[in-house]
Amino acid sequence: MKKDSVFIIAELSANHGGKIEIAKETIRAAKRTGADAIKLQTYTADTLTLNSAKDDFIIKSGSIWDGKSYYDLYQEAYTPWEWHEELFKTAKEEGLVCFSSPFDKTAVDLLESLNNPIYKIASFEITDIPLIEYVASKGKPVIISTGIAEYDDIKLAIETCRNAGNNDITILKCTSSYPAPIDEANMVMMQRFAKDFDVKVGLSDHTLGNTVPVVATALGATVIEKHFILDKSIGGPDASFSLDEKEFTEMVTAVRNAEKAMGKESYELTEKQKAGKAFARSLYVAEDIKEGDVITEKNVRSVRPGFGLHPKYLKEVIGKVANEDIEKGERFLLSIID
């Protein structure tokens, strides 16, 4: 992952309409937006849930998927495993990092065979400690979303990674609501994560628009992840809270501009700022002065531009005697009263 700027991830998720060519074109479009990476999700309905019509397996959490069974949702949304090799190849051709969120050990094994460079633990998997332990054991950077996590959940997930010998951990602030209301973003928690757990931090964003990613950048995010779709007409489970190419490009631009605006801690002036010093005040002769005249606040004043003597010397020169003639509009110099 980048160390000198925010690592921006376009999340493919279910935004492929069941067609590999749409998935591949989405990867190409992600490159055009300026994203750094494309992220997949590696599961099947059978690795994620049970094919059951019992009440527990029907979604009723106030989400956009209420009424569906978990199995039917994931059957619709999954990215076929036989696509993965080709999608990784397409991303490499485009110069994008490609990685994935695994949802069980068999998914990790598949991703290892493809040299997956980063692992993402989804919000709802933060309590799957055996999965986190297996992922961490691979020695790759681990990114963990916290959409449903309380303090103890985050602490245990991080401890699990560290106990497996993996300390390359990034914790993402995430609101598991689709789309997420902006007033529930609670971005101050990102800094709290860094303080409490001594980890890198970032954002997995489900809000609409660019405001939250820009705030995250200002608060020190190293990673920003957002769902990306080639065209919302493709439809699918995630379309309503995904950004299209134009929107994602605007988000990337906003984040990069926020990075530029943050700058660095330095009192050193830029060349433009130095040029602006011409508009500062300095001491100029306000009336013609003859040799032997006394310097007063009438014949020497602090005015713009800033090419003359610093105004801090005004009190020091008042009452002194000029040792030469000097015309109005000339810069006042200490040598005049030496």
With bands split at pLDDT 50, 70 and 90, how would you rate the model's confidence at 239? confident
**Of the candidates 268, 310, 259, 304, the residue with the CA atom closest to the CA atom of residue 286:** 304
**Pair type for strands 97-102 and 37-42:** parallel
Q: Are 142 and 169 in contact (CB under 8 A)?
A: yes
Q: What percent of the chain has pLDDT over 70?
A: 99
DSSP-derived letter for residue 228 is: B
Q: How far apart are CA 295 and CA 292, in angstroms?
A: 9
Closest by CA to 135, choosing from 123, 117, 152, is: 117
- Residue located via tokens 């998914």: 107
In the CATH scheme, what is the code of domain 7-43+78-262?
Answer: 3.20.20.70
Q: Distance between CA 4 and CA 173 in Å, rounded?
A: 20
Give the separation between CA 57 and CA 47, rounded to whole angstroms: 14
Please state which architecture CATH assigns to domain 271-336.
Alpha-Beta Complex (3.90)
Q: What is the bridge-based pairing of β-strands 300-303 and 282-285?
A: antiparallel
Question: Domain extents for the chain?
Answer: 7-43+78-262, 271-336
pLDDT of residue 3: 66
Report, as an integer, the average pLDDT of 61-70: 82
**Residue 140 confidence class, pLDDT cut points 50, 70, 90:** very high
Element holding 15 (H helix, E strand): none
Confidence check: pLDDT of 2 > 70:
no
SS3 143: strand
Per-residue pLDDT, averaged over 282-298, amounts to 96
φ/ψ of residue 154, rounded to 5: -65, -45
Instruction: Report whether 299 contacts 286 (CB < 8 A).
Output: yes
